[in-house]
Amino acid sequence: MNDKDITLHTRADARSRSPSALSLRALDLVNFFQADASTGIGPYLAIFLMTSRHWTLGRIGIAMGAQGFATVIAQAPMGALVDATRRKRALMVAASAAIALGCVAIAMRGSFATVIAAQIWIGIAAVAFGPAIAAASLGLVGHARFSRRMGRNESCNHGGNVFGAVAAGIMGRFISYSAIFYTSAVMSIATIASVLSIREHEIDHLAARAAMPEDGGPAHLSGWRELIVNRSLAIFALAVILFHFSNAAMLPLVGELLSSAGHASPALDMSACIVIAQIVMIPMAAFAGRYCELWGRKPVLMIAFAALPVRAILYTLTRDSYLLVAVQALDGVGAGIFGVAWIIVVADLAEGTGRFNLIAGAISTGVAAGASLSNMMTGFVVQRAGFNTGFLVLGVIALLALAVLAFAMPETKVAGAMHAAAIRRNPGP
> Residue 168's domain is classified under what CATH number?
1.20.1250.20
Give the pLDDT mean for 151-162.
87
Give the pLDDT mean for 95-106.
89
Tally of structural domains, the chain = 2
- Report yes or no on 348 lying in a domain: yes
- Report yes or no on 6 lying in a domain: no
pLDDT at 213: 56
Residue 120 identity (one-letter amino acid): I
pLDDT digits 0-9 by tens, 186-243: 888 999 999 999 998 888 888 877 776 554 455 555 556 666 767 888 899 999 999 9
Question: With 60 as the cut, is the pLDDT of residue 356 above it?
Answer: yes
Give the pLDDT mean for 398-422.
77
> Final residue of a domain: which of 189, 209, 229?
209
DSSP state of 19: -
Here the contacts of 294-298 (C-beta below 8 Å, separation 24 or greater) are 296/411, 296/413, 297/341, 297/344, 297/345, 297/348, 297/411, 297/412, 297/413, 298/405, 298/409, 298/410, 298/411, 298/412
pLDDT at 324: 81
pLDDT at 259: 63
**For 28-56, b where at least 16 C-beta lie within 10 A, e where not — what string?**
bbbbbbbbbbbbbbbebbeebbeeebebe
240 and 305 both lie in a single domain = yes
198 and 255 both lie in a single domain = no
386 and 263 both lie in a single domain = yes
Whole-model pTM? Answer: 0.75
- Report yes or no on 3 lying in a domain: no
165 and 280 both lie in a single domain = no
* Mean pLDDT score of the chain: 80
Confidence of residue 323 (pLDDT cuts 50, 70, 90): confident
- Report yes or no on 192 lying in a domain: yes
* Distance between CA atoms of residues 142 and 19, nearest Å: 10
* Distance between CA atoms of residues 278 and 285, nearest Å: 10
**For 214-227, b where at least 16 C-beta lie within 10 A, e where not — what string?**
eeeeebbbbeeebb
150 and 288 both lie in a single domain = no
Give the pLDDT mean for 239-252.
86
In order of 173, 188, 415, the CA distances from 95 in angstroms are: 28, 9, 34
Residue ranges making up the domain that contains 27? 20-209
User: How many C-beta atoms surround the C-beta of residue 58 within 10 A?
Assistant: 8
Instruction: Flag the least confident range among 43-47, 89-93, 356-360.
Output: 43-47
- Report yes or no on 147 lying in a domain: yes
**Which residues are 213's β-sheet partners?**
219
371 and 285 both lie in a single domain = yes
108 and 246 both lie in a single domain = no
Question: With 90 as the cut, is the pLDDT of residue 42 above it?
Answer: no
- Report yes or no on 1 lying in a domain: no
**Which residues are 256's β-sheet partners?**
none
The answer to whether 304 and 338 have CB atoms below 8 angstroms apart is: yes
Question: With 90 as the cut, is the pLDDT of residue 408 above it?
Answer: yes
Question: With 50 as the cut, is the pLDDT of residue 32 above it?
Answer: yes
* Distance between CA atoms of residues 406 and 242, nearest Å: 13
Give the pLDDT mean for 124-144.
87
227 and 373 both lie in a single domain = yes
Question: With 80 as the cut, is the pLDDT of residue 386 above it?
Answer: yes
> Final residue of a domain: which of 174, 194, 209?
209
273 and 367 both lie in a single domain = yes
Question: With 70 as the cut, is the pLDDT of residue 48 above it?
Answer: yes
pLDDT at 25: 93
261 and 222 both lie in a single domain = yes
Question: With 50 as the cut, is the pLDDT of residue 10 above it?
Answer: no
Identify the residue with better confidence: 293 or 196: 196
pLDDT at 367: 80
H or E segment to which residue 252 belongs? helix 250-260
pLDDT at 222: 59
Identify the residue with better confidence: 293 or 355: 293
Enumerate helices (H) and strands (E) in the chain, giving the number of each.
18, 0
184 and 104 both lie in a single domain = yes
95 and 197 both lie in a single domain = yes
pLDDT at 86: 85
Residue 289 identity (one-letter amino acid): G
Confidence of residue 268 (pLDDT cuts 50, 70, 90): low
Identify the residue with better confidence: 220 or 133: 133
* Distance between CA atoms of residues 193 and 408, nearest Å: 44
The answer to whether 367 and 236 have CB atoms below 8 angstroms apart is: no
- Report yes or no on 197 lying in a domain: yes
pLDDT at 307: 94
pLDDT at 146: 86
User: How many C-beta atoms surround the C-beta of residue 101 within 10 A?
Assistant: 16
- Report yes or no on 9 lying in a domain: no
* Distance between CA atoms of residues 303 and 297, nearest Å: 11
* Distance between CA atoms of residues 419 and 252, nearest Å: 40
pLDDT digits 0-9 by tens, 414-425: 654 444 444 444
> Final residue of a domain: which of 171, 188, 209?
209
Question: With 70 as the cut, is the pLDDT of residue 340 above it?
Answer: yes
